[in-house]
A = this chain, B = another copy of it.
Amino acid sequence: MEADKTQKLLKERLKEKGGLKVTHQRLLVLSVLEENSGSHMTAEDIYDLVSEDYPEIGLATVYRTLQLLWDMQLVDRINFGGDGCVRYEIGHLLNGGETKHNHHHLICKRCNKVMPFDDDLLESLEDHIEKATGFHVLDHELKFYGLCKDCMKKQR
């Protein structure tokens, strides 16, 4: 999705909410999120990136903007592992229906190595869930915990 289209959507939603303004800062935060679609960024990551173009921005503004974008459903919040900080990425609704990311990981319980693993096997299960529960699935995340090849060897 092109930046123009995302910006247009932001402007629409701000108008819908009534009285809210399209500011330079809001556009910049959104554009950084869009340029890094797929990565999971903390507020500080976003602050650092926006600062490159606009050093006078404040961290508090980034937090306030992320809260606003979340309220308007333009960004998603995610929580990876137990690192205790909230991460953001551009919303699924904006992220193009096609390029949905399938978070499949093999995680070794011994050495904590994380290996990616691709498989689209779950698509049909999503349909089943939606029919059975009314829950509309947007994305999934599948983690397998176990022992990697190397740690299996070491174990014996």
Contacts and interface: CB of A to CB of B under 8 A. Distances in A.
Contact of A147 (B77, B82, B136): B136
Interface of A: 70, 73, 76-86, 92, 106, 108-110, 115, 117, 119, 121-122, 125-126, 129, 133-149, 152
A84 B81 CA distance: 12
B129 A117 contact: yes
Copies in the complex: 2
B125 A148 contact: no
B82 A77 contact: yes
Given A119-B125, A121-B125, A149-B134, A73 B110 contact: yes
A146 B122 CA distance: 14
Q: Which of A85, A119, A126, A136 has most chain B Cβ within 10 Å?
A: A136
A76 B124 CA distance: 29
A84 B78 CA distance: 9
A79 B76 contact: no
14 contacts: A70-B82, A77-B81, A78-B82, A79-B81, A79-B82, A79-B83, A79-B84, A84-B84, A106-B129, A106-B135, A135-B147, A136-B148, A140-B145, A141-B143
A141 B142 contact: yes
Contacts of A125: 119, 121
Given A73-B110, A141-B142, 12 more contacts: A79-B79, A79-B80, A79-B82, A84-B86, A92-B145, A129-B144, A134-B148, A134-B152, A136-B148, A137-B144, A139-B145, A140-B145
